[in-house]
Amino acid sequence: MTYPIEKRLMSGLPNLRLDSFKYVVVHESGNPNNCGPNALENEIAYMNRNKANAFTSHWVGGAGRIVQVAPVGKVQYGCGPKGNPLSYAQVELARTNDKDQFKKDYAAYIWLLRELAKEAGIPVILDSAGNGIKSHRWITDNLKGTTHRDPYSYLASMGITEEQFKLDIKNGLKEVKEAQFTEAKVMLNDVKTIPAVIIDGRTHVQVRELADLLGLKLVYNNESKITKLYEVK
């Protein structure tokens, strides 16, 4: 699955060259007072007003929306003087109190972080030695020049452990579709019927039901994992 990226680049940014492409930095807003339905737009508006002091390249929120507000590959003011010149992109996650919305935001967040790392040619791995995707906490602990420790506390409050976050960044999130189940019946010879279920357009019946209807013996081979029907004698 891919996500559209809304480009709403802020004007008046410093347009400074990076020293190198080493990191994609992971943030969250850290604002528990802005968790409502307009949290994403509120955060973007606030950043635009205060961009002289702090700004990042992307925001994620609003049920899976991605908004780019500054160019990648240029210095952003998001993780201190040591990390900023080395960070290809920096991504903020707007908060929400809605668990269902968070799932959508989180999926977009993971997708974007992985895509930006691939785009920058850096490892798609979180908080390991060397280049890669780094939490703001990793920048604080290893490069200094900043004191923030996001995004782990907020993610934990929504049920995402550090281990899970690292695995999701490494492996990505698979798109899961709910199977469509419909109860049905299968008729044989226009007379006999047996229970069935339609799953995503395919009709399934229990082999045992079919065997009983046809008067056949059901045998399962544990080694070959093959089920056979034999005539009852």
Structure-token pair, residue 80: 């201190």
From 148, 171, 194, the end of a domain falls on 171
One-letter-per-residue 3-state SS of 90-119:
EEEECCCCCHHHHHHHHHHHHHHHHHHHHH
Contact 74, 16 (CB under 8 A): yes
Final residue of a domain: which of 153, 171, 189? 171
Counted residue by residue, the chain has a size of 233
- Predicted confidence at residue 222, as pLDDT, reads 52
Same domain? 74 vs 158: yes
pLDDT given at position 218: 62
Looking at the structure, do residues 158 and 186 belong to the same domain, yes or no?
no
- Residue 158 is predicted with a pLDDT of 97
pLDDT of residue 231: 62
At 84, the amino acid letter reads N
Same domain, 113 and 199: no
Same structural domain, 202 and 227: yes
Half-sphere exposure of residue 71, counting CA atoms within 13 Å on the CB side? 11
Q: Do 144 and 204 fall within a single domain? A: no
At residue 227, what are phi and psi to the nearest 5 degrees?
-100, 130
pLDDT (0 to 100) of residue 174: 81
**DSSP H/E element including 141:** helix 136-142
Number of domains in the chain: 2
Element (H, E) at 39: helix 39-49
Distance (Å) of CA 164 to CA 91, 172, 215: 18, 11, 51
Same domain, 154 and 226: no
Distance separating the N- and C-terminal Cα atoms of the chain = 54
For the beta carbon of residue 187, count every other beta carbon within 10 angstroms.
10
Q: Are residues 113 and 217 in the same domain?
A: no
Per run of 10 residues, the mean pLDDT along the chain (length 233 residues) is 95 98 98 97 98 98 98 98 98 98 98 98 97 98 98 97 97 66 65 67 66 68 56 57
Residue 93 located in a structural domain: yes
On whether both 39 and 129 belong to a single domain, the answer is yes
Q: Is 48 exposed, middle or buried (0-12, 13-18, 19+ CB in 10 A)?
A: middle
Positive or negative torsion for Cα 66, 89, 165, 36: negative
CATH number, domain of 61, equals 3.40.80.10
What is residue 85's DSSP assignment?
G
| 18 lies in the same domain as 120 | yes
- Domain-located, residue 176: no
Determine, yes or no, domain membership for 186. Answer: yes
pTM: 0.76
Residues 14 and 104 in one domain: yes
- Predicted local distance difference test score (pLDDT) of residue 226: 58
Write phi, then psi, for 176 (nearest 5 degrees): -110, 125
The verdict on 90 and 109 lying in the same domain is yes
Per the domain annotation, does 204 fall within a domain? yes
Q: What angle do CA 164, 136, 92 make, to 5 degrees?
A: 80
Q: In 3D, which of 2, 5, 58 has the Cα closest to residue 175?
A: 2
- What are residue 92's DSSP bridge partners? 59
- CA 84 – CA 60 distance, rounded (Å): 20
Q: Of 136, 151, 171, which marks where a domain is finished?
A: 171
Specify the DSSP element, H or E, that contains 210. Answer: helix 207-214
Residue 127 and residue 221 in one domain: no
**223: containing domain:** 181-231
